[in-house]
Amino acid sequence: MEQQGTPTIYHKTVHQIIKDLKNSFTWECVVVGDLFAGYCLDDKKHYAGALTKDSLLEHAKKTYLWLLYCGAIVNNSDLFVGLQYAVVHYKLSTTITFNTAHFQQSFVSHLLLAFTKQVLMECCPIGLAFGDMLGQAYKLGCHADVLLLTPLEGSLQVSKFVWADVDYVGNF
């Protein structure tokens, strides 16, 4: 059992992988997913996916965080404030998150494919591409709202995308 304050085997392994990766490439863009999903396997109950002090995020021009297991975070105002703080603190370029409690990852596949093509391959700014990306993920709309967190000078812009049937809206 490791003493409190000493790195876990997981953190030592992650640190070594990051060190090797940093020395291997010049990082233009880093895409990260679900840093907060999953508990460590030791006897302490804490999340294994916490960011390390020395990460690739600090060395990339653009950083994108996809949170697929975060309905509980987004729907709790205190936890959501903590997430917003983390986005600003780690200087993430964009964070994409969802508000449903029981998120089904299969619904996000078309959104991820559109992100890969338009943002990563074609280098379109995510703010311009996001509307089209959502249009390609139409099945997601029946399942969850999408939140886009984008840091601005001294603040954080949180955009919430909600689907609605335009023929149904207004017929109350």
Is pTM beyond 0.75 here?
A: no
Q: pLDDT digits over 118-131, tens only?
A: 999 999 999 999 98
Could you tell me which residue, 1 or 114, shows the higher pLDDT?
Answer: 114
How far from chain centre, in Å, is Cα 79?
A: 15
* DSSP reduced 3-state for 121: helix
Side-chain half-sphere of 161: how many Cα atoms within 13 Å?
20
Instruction: Spell out where 77-170 has E strands.
Output: 94-98, 146-152, 155-161
Q: pLDDT digits over 67-81, tens only?
A: 876 677 888 888 888
